Amino acid sequence: MTHSMFVRVYYEDTDLAGIVYYANYLKFIERGRSDWLRDLGIDQVAMKDGGHVFAVRRIEADYLRPARFDDLLAVETRLVQMTAARIVVDQTVRRGDEALFAARVTLACLDGAGRPVRLPRALAHALAID
């Protein structure tokens, strides 16, 4: 199942040419992942308080077409793989039907000391039924 949320491009997101600065796509997809987890009923603050956090381990990104000031973009997130301590998602940023940016993101679940740990049971369960 694909989760979708919308992001408006503001002036601060663009460079001198009025095109979205490349690093801002990473911010957009970060928001998309957070919104996806929230919609699954996962409270990331409670996860952190319980000693679990996510860290991006790997991103493979393709910049396909430019987004511009005032565009309304859809950030799509789809689970690709889940292991005991890691999840992989595909994320796409679209303007209408046109794909502008695509990324595969690997997230590791870590404890407070930065060591890999198993995904919390509630999260694993929520992802299994997504």
Partners of 74 in the beta sheet?
6, 94
Contact, 37 vs 43, CB < 8 A? no
Give the pLDDT confidence score for residue 28 in this predicted structure: 98
Quick count: other Cβ atoms within 10 Å of Cβ 124? 15
* pLDDT reported for residue 25: 98
Please give, one letter per residue, the 3-state secondary structure of 78-92.
EEEEECCCEEEEEEE
**What was the pLDDT predicted at 129?**
67
Annotated catalytic residue, options 15, 43, 70, 111: 15
Question: What does each of the 130 residues of the chain score in pLDDT, given as a tens digit?
Answer: 899 999 999 999 999 999 999 999 999 999 999 999 999 988 888 888 788 889 999 999 999 999 999 999 999 999 999 999 999 999 999 999 999 999 999 999 998 888 999 998 888 888 886 6
Q: Is 111 a catalytic residue?
A: no
Architecture of the domain delimited by 2-128: Roll (3.10)
What is the sign, positive or negative, of the torsion defined by CA atoms of 42, 106, 10, 72?
negative
